[in-house]
């Protein structure tokens, strides 16, 4: 049975400091809060009585807690945007500390809510990482994804079905004031099918049956609600013409495969794409929890030579392969990159069981070994 251990996220607030914690639904924010700050006052806006009180009279926060001495946690702050004015006042005039959670800041920005003007640090919670899990089967994770309830579920497909129907299609569409939920649902399917490919608004629009302008807005909704993100191309080269187009990935491999109706099996091209997506999920979590300034890009020439991810200023170049045996042809992208740039750690990550040295400086690493090196900091990023 798979298990979840302590989350990798850490928020250590000095006195009189506050923070936001954003993350899509079911990433585990509320559970983490209960485990990490059990002694602190917590106001949960998902509770109808609590929501009703503060939505009707936001000043209650100031009236009740202006003399409070310890940090106050407000869960799902985006449900009552007006509370942020009271939070701002209490920070400025009483020196209070707040931890404010939500599924996205989009609703707050749309209502021109007070985002505290730099008075609160920003943190993001991601799906589970290797550090936080134990005993899982890689093929199973490609189906379930790494949202904690889905990862632990005996029937993840049913959970994913509910998540997509109730949250992605209905709640996100409503929050973003999408005019047609069926059109948005079809866009989600097409976005999942093109997950990790070069972003082409025209093609996605044609497949989804809406205009390219609408598609641009839909992708922005996914970014604003932390349900997807772009990966920019590496553009610096003196000798090669580089691709300038971004790629787009959904935030969870299980959600992407459910929406695209894929069940990746080892040895198939779909499994290789899913493994690449999972590795990027780990990179994004590492970036959020350990190194917010880390640059994550992909490298691709106009002639089609490609390396999946480049970290920092060529500290790490990472090629992902979904097979159990690495072949010479798998090195083409990395070899082309090395002929153009100095790379400290050129790595080929696959399902091979033991690490080994390949041509030049390239190391072949089992995927678990790569993630252990990443999280330990031994790669220097």
* Tens of pLDDT, residues 30-41: 999 999 999 999
Total structural domains within the chain? 2
The answer to whether residue 16 scores a pLDDT higher than 90 is no
pLDDT at residue 357, as a whole number: 93
309 and 179, same domain (yes or no): yes
Among 124, 156, 181, the domain boundary falls at 124
247 with 269, same domain? yes
Category of 23 on φ-ψ map: left (φ > 0), alpha (ψ -120 to 50) or beta? left
The reply to whether 135 and 25 lie within a common domain is no
Query: Do residues 108 and 165 both lie within one domain?
Result: no
Phi-psi bin for 264: left (phi > 0), alpha (psi -120 to 50), beta? beta
Buried b (16+ CB within 10 A) or exposed e, 223-253: bbbbbbbebebbeeeeebeebeeebbbbbbb
Query: Which CATH number fits the domain that encloses residue 117?
Result: 3.40.50.300
Q: Please, which pLDDT band fits residue 2 given cuts at 50, 70 and 90?
A: low
pLDDT of residue 114: 65
Confidence category of residue 110, pLDDT binned at 50, 70, 90:
low
The 10 Å Cβ neighbour count of residue 201 is: 15
Output the pLDDT for position 181: 85
215 shares its domain with 172:
yes
Is residue 15 scored above 90 in pLDDT? Answer: no
DSSP states of 11-42: --PPTT-EEEEE--TTSSHHHHHHHH-TTSEE
pLDDT at 197 over 50: yes
**269 lies in the same domain as 171:** yes
Shared-domain flag, residues 211 and 74? no
Q: What percent of the chain has pLDDT over 90?
A: 80
53-80 mean pLDDT: 95
Q: Do both 52 and 193 map to the same domain?
A: no
Q: Which of 69-83, 110-124, 314-328, 330-344 has the lowest mean pLDDT?
A: 110-124
For the segment 172-181, the average pLDDT, to the nearest whole number, is: 77
The whole-number pLDDT of residue 1 equals 41
Looking at the fold, whether 330 and 215 belong to one and the same domain comes out as yes
307-365 pLDDT, tens digit per residue, is 999 999 999 999 999 999 988 889 999 999 999 999 999 999 999 999 999 987 999 99
Total-model pTM: 0.94
Range of the domain at 108: 3-124
- Residue at a domain's end among 124, 145, 179: 124
pLDDT band at 118 (very low <50, low <70, confident <90, very high): confident
């Amino acid at each position: 049975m798979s298990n979840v251990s302590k989350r990798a996220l850490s928020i250590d607030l000095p006195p009189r400091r506050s923070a936001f914690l954003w993350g899509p639904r079911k990433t585990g924010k509320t559970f983490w809060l209960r485990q990490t700050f059990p002694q602190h006052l917590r106001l949960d806006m998902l509770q109808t009585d609590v929501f009703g009180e503060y939505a009707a009279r936001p000043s209650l926060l100031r009236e009740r807690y202006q003399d409070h001495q310890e940090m106050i946690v407000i869960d799902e702050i985006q449900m009552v945007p007006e509370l942020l004015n009271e939070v701002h006042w209490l920070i400025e005039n009483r020196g209070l500390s707040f931890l404010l959670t939500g599924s996205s800041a989009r609703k707050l920005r749309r209502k021109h809510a007070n985002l505290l003007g730099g008075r609160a640090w920003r943190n993001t919670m991601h799906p589970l990482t290797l550090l936080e899990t134990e005993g899982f089967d890689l093929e199973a994770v490609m189906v379930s994804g790494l949202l904690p309830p889905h990862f632990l579920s005996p029937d993840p497909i049913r959970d994913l079905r509910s998540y997509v129907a109730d949250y992605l299609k209905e709640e996100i569409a409503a929050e973003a004031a999408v005019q047609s939920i069926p059109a948005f649902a079809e866009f989600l399917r097409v976005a999942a099918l093109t997950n990790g490919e070069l972003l082409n608004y025209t093609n996605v629009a044609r497949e989804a049956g809406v205009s390219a302008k609408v598609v641009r807005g839909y992708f922005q909704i996914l970014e604003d609600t932390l349900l997807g993100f772009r990966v920019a191309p590496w553009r610096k080269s003196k000798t090669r013409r580089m691709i300038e187009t971004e790629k787009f990935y959904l935030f969870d491999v299980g959600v992407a495969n459910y929406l695209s109706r894929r069940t990746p099996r080892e040895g198939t091209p779909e499994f290789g794409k899913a493994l690449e997506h999972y590795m990027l999920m780990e990179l994004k979590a590492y970036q959020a929890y350990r190194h917010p300034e880390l640059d994550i890009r992909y490298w691709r020439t106009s002639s089609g030579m490609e390396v999946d991810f480049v970290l920092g200023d060529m500290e790490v170049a990472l090629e992902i392969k979904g097979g159990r045996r690495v072949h010479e042809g798998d090195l083409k992208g990395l070899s082309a990159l090395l002929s153009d740039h100095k790379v400290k750690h050129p790595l080929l990550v696959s399902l091979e069981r033991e690490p080994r040295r390949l041509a030049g400086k390239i190391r072949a690493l089992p995927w678990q070994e790569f993630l252990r090196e990443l999280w330990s900091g031994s790669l220097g990023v």
